[in-house]
Structure 1
Amino acid sequence: MVDTLLDDVAGLLRETADRVVLPLFRHLGDADVSEKAPGELVTVADRRAEEAITAGLLRLRPGSVVVGEEAVADDPALLRHLRSAGDVWLVDPVDGTANFAAGRRPFALMVSLLTDGEPAAGWVFDPLADALASARSGEGAYLDGHPLRLPVAGPPVGELRGAAMTRFLPGRSRRTVEAGGARIGELLPGLHCAGREYLDVLTGQQQFVLFWRTLPWDHGPGTLLVQAAGGVARRLDGKDYHPADTEHGLLVAVNDEVWTEVHQALLPA
């Protein structure tokens, strides 16, 4: 039997965007947006999209477990499944909710699959750009069905372009990164949408991205995609990223050389 998992989940994300998310973009009422935690917005689109994606994933893999962002907000104990045996899905129904709620782009729909506690597949879909990246561990990455391969060498550090989410960094680290930005060709403030940051790395629009907050649904899909395309995703101490890890800090780059150059520039010892 042909394994159509990449196409099946891609189709589910496209269908959910078309049927649930996009009809609500710039059509939310005041009652459609609320705070699930201080400074953390949730919209009716997040909740409905997560319900639709969850139902679709369970049809594709009966007996699997879905760990969705909104479900975890209601029941944090669901995070215990991230090291479990079997198939576990991570779902971010609308990544970039603040952008979506404000009627601006970008935002994305994201899914990743863990099998026996290890990253196995990932999907990131930007519906406004109609860009969908997918990958299975050890089998390469694809953008809209075309193979993706990141460059094995990057430009000099003074010509690198990338983003750093400095507003989330602790004060001392934020000042260090901002000062180190002078050594980088262009240090961007970020798009408030992790999915789009990963797509921009995959498509060559930037060579790196630095995050502080690393919630599993924000980074499980994108890190797998970048690694499958030949890039690297490591904690700031150099350890490989895993969605179940709880520490802060993540640097993603198109290759090992760029990772090292950016780390030395932005986070010197």
Structure 2
Amino acid sequence: MRDDLIESVTDLVREVARTIVLPRWRRLNTGDVREKSPGDLVTVADQESERALTSGLTALLPGSTVVGEEAVAADPSVLDRLGGNGPVWVVDPVDGTNNFAAGKRPFAVMVALVRDGEPVAGWILDVPDDRMVVAEAGSGAYVDGLRLKTRSDDPAADALTGSISRTYFPDDLRAGIDANASRLGQVTGGHHCAGYEYPCVATDEQQFAVFWRVLPWDHAPGSLILREAGGAVLHLDGSAYRPESAERGLLIAANHDIWHTVRGTLLSP
């Protein structure tokens, strides 16, 4: 991939965050926020950010298309672009919208470039902290220019820290996971922002995260970043994650040994 494309997208994401997203934080009016579905918010910042990213990204890569969270909300057939042959940008204009709308952190702007169904580049900008994580397939992952490498050891289950986003789990699976989670060291409910969870695993702030709902804009950027740093991103049955996959349940971990430890602990009878 052209180095100038990586840099240009990095600059675009920062510019959109600086000029559209951050100025709206803690300054939203009542009419600037609405529910797309119960508990799932969208703000004027999401909409304006996605429009700016869509315009900028397609200009940077002629012939590309965009799968954006808000575009899919308006027209679910937009998701079909992921199955096409050309390059596709996957865009989360504000990841962690509920945090953003509540005036809390974390929230992020995320972009992935997908070719032939696989992410080949990913960008996550932690907007409040202005921390940029970038990865290119085969070239590694970097946070603000510094190479990221996940931990390579596998401590005991009771030494592991991570998060489980329980909201969308089926009741029976949630009950089993909840019963076993105490066997792990420390488990939180997550930060409601996949764009925060993935870098946390890559930098060893936590060693794993578990999700049920797997939407491409939430996971395509982070999945590449974590894999390029040495981590594991697999469905609960061990199958590989792909952005177009409709399969539910995703476990991410700092390495494959930790992945197996966490899965074995949480899903044991």
- The two structures have a TM-score, normalised by structure 1, of 0.97
CA shift for structure 1 position 154: 2.9
- Pair 1:56–1:149, CA change in 2 (3 A): same
CA shift for structure 1 position 189: 0.8
SS of 1:47's equivalent in the other structure is helix
- Counterpart position of 1:75: 75
Is 1:108 the counterpart of 2:108? The answer is: yes
Amino acid paired to 1:6? I
Whether the 8 Å contact between 1:90 and 1:113 is mirrored in structure 2 is yes
- Counterpart position of 1:197: 197
SS of 2:93's equivalent in the other structure is strand
- Counterpart position of 1:159: 159
Q: Aligned partners of 1:179 and 1:49: how far apart in 2?
A: 40
Whether the 8 Å contact between 1:181 and 1:265 is mirrored in structure 2 is yes
Q: Which runs of 5+ in 2 are unaligned?
A: none
Amino acid paired to 1:15? E
SS of 2:268's equivalent in the other structure is coil
Whether the 8 Å contact between 1:65 and 1:88 is mirrored in structure 2 is yes
Residues matched between the structures, number: 269
- Counterpart position of 2:232: 232
Is 1:243 the counterpart of 2:248? The answer is: no
Deviates more, 1:176-185 or 1:235-244: 176-185
CA shift for structure 1 position 2: 5.5
Amino acid paired to 1:191? H
Amino acid paired to 1:72? V
- Counterpart position of 1:5: 5
Q: Percent identity?
A: 50
Is 1:16 the counterpart of 2:20? The answer is: no
Whether the 8 Å contact between 1:169 and 1:212 is mirrored in structure 2 is yes
Amino acid paired to 1:143? V
SS of 1:183's equivalent in the other structure is coil
Let me know the Cα RMSD of the aligned residues: 1.2
5 Å matches for 1:138-153? 138-153=138-153
SS of 2:209's equivalent in the other structure is strand
Q: Which runs of 5+ in 1 are unaligned?
A: none
5 Å matches for 1:179-190? 179-190=179-190
Is 1:264 the counterpart of 2:264? The answer is: yes
- Pair 1:99–1:2, CA change in 2 (3 A): closer
- Counterpart position of 1:118: 118
Q: Aligned partners of 1:13 and 1:96: how far apart in 2?
A: 16
Whether the 8 Å contact between 1:83 and 1:118 is mirrored in structure 2 is no
SS of 1:89's equivalent in the other structure is strand
Q: Aligned partners of 2:182 and 2:116: how far apart in 1?
A: 43
Q: Aligned partners of 2:63 and 2:141: how far apart in 1?
A: 26
SS of 2:263's equivalent in the other structure is helix
Q: Aligned partners of 2:197 and 2:50: how far apart in 1?
A: 21
SS of 1:268's equivalent in the other structure is coil
Q: Aligned partners of 1:76 and 1:159: how far apart in 2?
A: 42
- Pair 1:263–1:2, CA change in 2 (3 A): closer
- The two structures have a TM-score, normalised by structure 2, of 0.97
Whether the 8 Å contact between 2:149 and 2:203 is mirrored in structure 1 is no
Q: Aligned partners of 1:154 and 1:130: how far apart in 2?
A: 31
